[in-house]
């Protein structure tokens, strides 16, 4: 059953440049409301209304990572907020749950199409079929990528799959090529969007 509530995107960051950039990138997405959320009060007030919400969250903002005010709070919200956490390649935060059905991690250097697809998936819209045709992973590539999605290091993956660390690296390079991914997070998100993992 489709959710008939109006759509809103919350751009959650204390950094004005991040908010302005994401707003510009998402101008092509059809929504009823695009909200700049620089403070927790704005997020709370916006979620208290009758909107279907997707939150694009900057992991570089301190309060966003806070265990009570940030992403965990959004994921616990009763309206089922979809969260897209945008991380730089240097961001590693144990406070952010790696696996959650409503959480998508996106690298800050991803292209516009990946961010837009993540937002559309958050609203339950199907990704474009033309982007999914002809993309396949081998069973071993899929195994490696599933462990990457579980935040495992190459060394941990090699131990769990009983393969050499160099073989893990080769599989990941092949996955990056097949998925046209730029990072581990990007590869996981692209594979998820294509239904490969």
pLDDT tens-place string over residues 110-157: 555 667 777 777 776 644 443 444 578 888 888 898 888 888 899 999
Residues 171 and 88 reside in one and the same domain = no
**Is it the case that residue 31 has pLDDT exceeding 60?**
yes
**Both tokens of residue 196?**
């490969």
Same domain, 114 and 157: no
Residue with tokens 């799959």: 161
Residue 45 lies in a domain: yes
Angle CA 77–78–83, to nearest 5: 45
Instruction: Tell me the backbone φ, ψ of residue 65, rounded to 5 degrees.
Output: -85, -10
134 and 49 in a common domain: no
pLDDT at 109: 60
What's the domain range around 96? 7-126
Q: Is 97 within 8 Å of 78 (Cβ atoms)?
A: no
Q: Compute CA distances 66 → 25, 69, 86, 95, 159, whole Å.
A: 26, 5, 15, 7, 33
Q: Over the stretch 50-91, which tens digit does the pLDDT of each residue have?
A: 888 888 888 777 666 554 557 777 888 888 888 888 876 544
Determine the Cα–Cα distance for residues 113 and 13; give it in Å rounded to an integer: 21
> Are 120 and 168 a contacting pair, CB within 8 Å?
no
- 137 contact partners, CB below 8 Å, separation of at least 6: 145, 175, 178, 191, 196
Same domain, 122 and 153: no
With respect to residue 2, please indicate whether it lies within any of the assigned structural domains: no
Q: pLDDT category, 2, cuts 50, 70, 90?
A: low
Whether residue 87 is found in the same domain as residue 148? no
Please say which residue of 71, 105, 126 terminates a domain: 126
What's residue 20's pLDDT? Answer: 87
Q: Which of 65, 22, 51 is nearest to 123 (CA)?
A: 51
Please check whether residue 54 lies inside any domain of the structure.
Answer: yes
Task: Considering only residues 11 and 30, tell me which one the structure prediction assigns the higher pLDDT.
Answer: 11
Residues above pLDDT 70, as percent of the chain: 79
For residues 38 and 91, membership in a common domain is answered with: yes
Can you list the alpha helix ranges (DSSP code H) found in the chain?
16-25, 40-47, 62-65, 71-76, 112-122, 139-149, 154-161, 165-179, 184-193
Q: Is the domain of 56 the same as that of 87?
A: yes
Would you say the pTM of this structure is higher than 0.75? no
Same domain, 55 and 93: yes
Q: Where does a domain end: 70, 92, 126?
A: 126
What percent of the chain is predicted at pLDDT more than 90? 8
SS3 165: helix
Q: What's the structural domain count of the chain?
A: 2
């Amino acid at each position: 059953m489709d959710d008939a509530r109006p759509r809103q995107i919350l751009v959650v960051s204390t950094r004005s440049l991040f908010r302005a950039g994401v707003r510009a990138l998402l101008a092509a997405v059809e929504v009823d409301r695009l909200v700049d959320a620089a403070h927790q009060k704005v997020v709370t007030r916006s979620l208290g209304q009758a909107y279907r919400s997707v939150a694009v969250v900057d992991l570089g903002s301190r309060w966003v990572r806070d265990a009570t005010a940030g992403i965990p709070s959004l994921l616990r919200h009763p309206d089922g907020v979809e969260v897209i956490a945008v991380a730089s390649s240097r961001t590693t935060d144990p406070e952010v749950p790696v696996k959650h059905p409503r959480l998508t991690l996106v690298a800050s250097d991803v292209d516009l199409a990946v961010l837009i697809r993540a937002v559309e998936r958050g609203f339950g819209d199907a990704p474009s079929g033309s982007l999914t045709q002809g993309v396949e992973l081998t069973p071993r590539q899929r195994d490696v990528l599933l462990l990457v999605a579980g935040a495992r290091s190459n060394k941990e993956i090699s131990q769990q799959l009983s393969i050499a660390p160099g073989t893990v690296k080769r599989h990941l390079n092949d996955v990056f090529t097949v998925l046209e991914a730029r990072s581990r997070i990007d590869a996981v998100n692209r594979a998820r969007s294509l239904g490969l993992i």
